[in-house]
A and B are shown apart, each in its own frame.
Chain A
Amino acid sequence: MVLQMKLLKKLIPIFILVLASCSDEQDFSQAKDLEVTTDLSGPILSVEASEDVLNAGVFATQEVNFDGFQNENFSDRVLSGVINFQLNNTTSKQLDVTVDFLNDGGAVIDTKFMTIDEAPPEQIVLDSIVYDDSNLEILKNISSIALSVQNNSGTTSVSSLDDPKFTFQSSGSFIIEVLE
Chain B
Amino acid sequence: MKSIYLSIVVFFIACLSGISQNKELLYNFNEVPQSLLLNPGTSTSFKWYAGVPVLSGVSFQAGVTGITSNDLFAVDGVDFNTKFLDKVVYGMDSKDELSGTYQIEILNVGFRGRKNPNNFYSFGIYNEGDAIGYYFEDYALLAFEGNTNNIDKRFDLSDLKTRGEVVNVYHFGINKKVSRQLDLGFRAKVYSSILNFSSTDNSGYFVTTEGDENLLQATLVADLKINTSGIFELKDAIDNDESIADIITKRALFGGDLGLGFDLGFTYKLDRQTYITGSILDIGFISHTNDLRTYSLKGKATSEGINVILPDDLGSGSDEWRELVDDLESLVPYEETEERYVTFRPTKLYASIGHDFGDEIEPRQDCNCTTKPGGGYVDNIYKNSVGGQLYVINRPRGPQAALTGFYQHRFGNIMSLKATYTVDKYSFANVGLGGSLQAGPVNMYLMADNLFGYSNLANTNYASVLFGLNIISWGKK
Residues of A within 8 A of B (CB): 1, 3-4, 7-8, 11, 14-15, 17-19, 21-28, 30-36, 38-50, 52-53, 56, 60, 62, 64-68, 84, 86, 169-171, 173, 176, 178-180
A112–B303 Cα distance when bound, in Å, is 25
Hey, which chain A residues are within 8 Å of B321, CB to CB? 64-68
Residues of B within 8 A of A (CB): 1, 4-5, 8-9, 12-13, 16, 69-70, 72-75, 79-81, 84, 142-149, 151, 208, 211, 213-218, 303-311, 313-314, 319-322, 411-412, 414-415, 417, 433, 435, 437, 446, 448, 451, 454-459, 465
A43–B70 Cα distance when bound, in Å, is 42
Question: For residue A5, which residue of chain B has the nearest CB?
Answer: B414
Hey, which chain A residues are within 8 Å of B73, CB to CB? 26-28, 30-31
* B398 smallest CB distance to A (angstroms): 31
Question: For residue B322, which residue of chain A has the nearest CB?
Answer: A65
Q: Are A169 and B81 in contact, CB atoms less than 8 angstroms apart?
A: no
A48–B305 Cα distance when bound, in Å, is 13
A48–B73 Cα distance when bound, in Å, is 55
What are 12 A-B pairs at a CB distance below 8 A?
A: A8-B415, A18-B433, A19-B448, A24-B74, A27-B74, A31-B12, A35-B81, A38-B142, A43-B305, A65-B322, A67-B322, A68-B321
Q: Find the residue from B5, B146, B211 having the highest chain A CB count within 10 A.
A: B146
Q: Are B148 and A25 in contact, CB atoms less than 8 angstroms apart?
A: no
Q: Are B414 and A48 in contact, CB atoms less than 8 angstroms apart?
A: no
* A171 smallest CB distance to B (angstroms): 4
Hey, which chain B residues are within 8 Å of A47, CB to CB? 308-310
The 7 nearest A-B residue pairs measured at CB = A43-B305, A21-B454, A39-B146, A38-B146, A171-B215, A46-B214, A39-B148
Q: Are A62 and B214 in contact, CB atoms less than 8 angstroms apart?
A: no
In the complex with contacts A4-B414, A26-B70, A43-B80 CB distance below 8 A? no
A34–B9 Cα distance when bound, in Å, is 11
* B265 smallest CB distance to A (angstroms): 28
Hey, which chain B residues are within 8 Å of A34, CB to CB? 5, 8, 80-81, 84
* A10 smallest CB distance to B (angstroms): 11
Q: Are A43 and B448 in contact, CB atoms less than 8 angstroms apart?
A: no
Q: Are A28 and B310 in contact, CB atoms less than 8 angstroms apart?
A: no
Hey, which chain A residues are within 8 Å of B458, CB to CB? 23-24, 26
Q: Are B218 and A42 in contact, CB atoms less than 8 angstroms apart?
A: yes
Q: Are B13 and A28 in contact, CB atoms less than 8 angstroms apart?
A: yes
Q: Are B415 and A46 in contact, CB atoms less than 8 angstroms apart?
A: no
Hey, which chain A residues are within 8 Å of B435, CB to CB? 11, 15
One of A23, A33, A41 near B146 (C-beta < 8 A): A41
Q: Are A18 and B320 in contact, CB atoms less than 8 angstroms apart?
A: no
Hey, which chain B residues are within 8 Å of A65, CB to CB? 319-322
Given contacts A1-B414, A41-B151, A62-B313, 9 further A-B contacts (CB under 8 A): A21-B457, A22-B454, A31-B8, A39-B145, A41-B216, A42-B216, A44-B306, A46-B213, A66-B320
A144–B196 Cα distance when bound, in Å, is 46
A26–B81 Cα distance when bound, in Å, is 16
Q: Are B322 and A43 in contact, CB atoms less than 8 angstroms apart?
A: no
Q: Are B208 and A48 in contact, CB atoms less than 8 angstroms apart?
A: no
Q: Are B208 and A41 in contact, CB atoms less than 8 angstroms apart?
A: yes
Question: For residue A27, which residue of chain B has the nearest CB?
Answer: B75
Q: Are A40 and B146 in contact, CB atoms less than 8 angstroms apart?
A: yes
* A175 smallest CB distance to B (angstroms): 8
Q: Are B454 and A8 in contact, CB atoms less than 8 angstroms apart?
A: no
A50–B313 Cα distance when bound, in Å, is 12
Hey, which chain A residues are within 8 Å of B310, CB to CB? 47-50, 53, 60, 62
* A113 smallest CB distance to B (angstroms): 19
A7–B437 Cα distance when bound, in Å, is 11
Question: For residue B450, which residue of chain A has the nearest CB?
Answer: A18
Hey, which chain A residues are within 8 Å of B313, CB to CB? 62
* A30 smallest CB distance to B (angstroms): 4
Q: Are B308 and A62 in contact, CB atoms less than 8 angstroms apart?
A: yes
Hey, which chain B residues are within 8 Å of A68, CB to CB? 321
Hey, which chain A residues are within 8 Å of B465, CB to CB? 18-19
In the complex with contacts A4-B415, A34-B84, A15-B448 CB distance below 8 A? yes
Q: Are B309 and A23 in contact, CB atoms less than 8 angstroms apart?
A: no
Q: Are B417 and A48 in contact, CB atoms less than 8 angstroms apart?
A: no
One of A3, A18, A170 near B451 (C-beta < 8 A): A18
* B336 smallest CB distance to A (angstroms): 18
Question: For residue A71, which residue of chain B has the nearest CB?
Answer: B325
Q: Are A41 and B84 in contact, CB atoms less than 8 angstroms apart?
A: no
A56–B448 Cα distance when bound, in Å, is 85
Hey, which chain B residues are within 8 Å of A178, CB to CB? 143
Hey, which chain B residues are within 8 Å of A67, CB to CB? 321-322
A48–B9 Cα distance when bound, in Å, is 52
A84–B306 Cα distance when bound, in Å, is 15
Q: Are B459 and A24 in contact, CB atoms less than 8 angstroms apart?
A: yes
* B128 smallest CB distance to A (angstroms): 22
A18–B445 Cα distance when bound, in Å, is 14
A170–B214 Cα distance when bound, in Å, is 7
Hey, which chain A residues are within 8 Å of B218, CB to CB? 42-43
Q: Are B143 and A36 in contact, CB atoms less than 8 angstroms apart?
A: yes
Q: Are B411 and A7 in contact, CB atoms less than 8 angstroms apart?
A: yes
Hey, which chain A residues are within 8 Å of B149, CB to CB? 39
A3–B415 Cα distance when bound, in Å, is 11
Question: For residue B314, which residue of chain A has the nearest CB?
Answer: A62
A21–B73 Cα distance when bound, in Å, is 18
A40–B206 Cα distance when bound, in Å, is 12
Q: Are B9 and A66 in contact, CB atoms less than 8 angstroms apart?
A: no
* A32 smallest CB distance to B (angstroms): 6
A41–B216 Cα distance when bound, in Å, is 8
A38–B89 Cα distance when bound, in Å, is 13
A77–B62 Cα distance when bound, in Å, is 36
Q: Are B70 and A24 in contact, CB atoms less than 8 angstroms apart?
A: yes
A86–B216 Cα distance when bound, in Å, is 11
Hey, which chain B residues are within 8 Å of A46, CB to CB? 211, 213-215, 304-308
Hey, which chain B residues are within 8 Å of A48, CB to CB? 213, 307-310
A31–B71 Cα distance when bound, in Å, is 12
Hey, which chain B residues are within 8 Å of A30, CB to CB? 72-73, 80
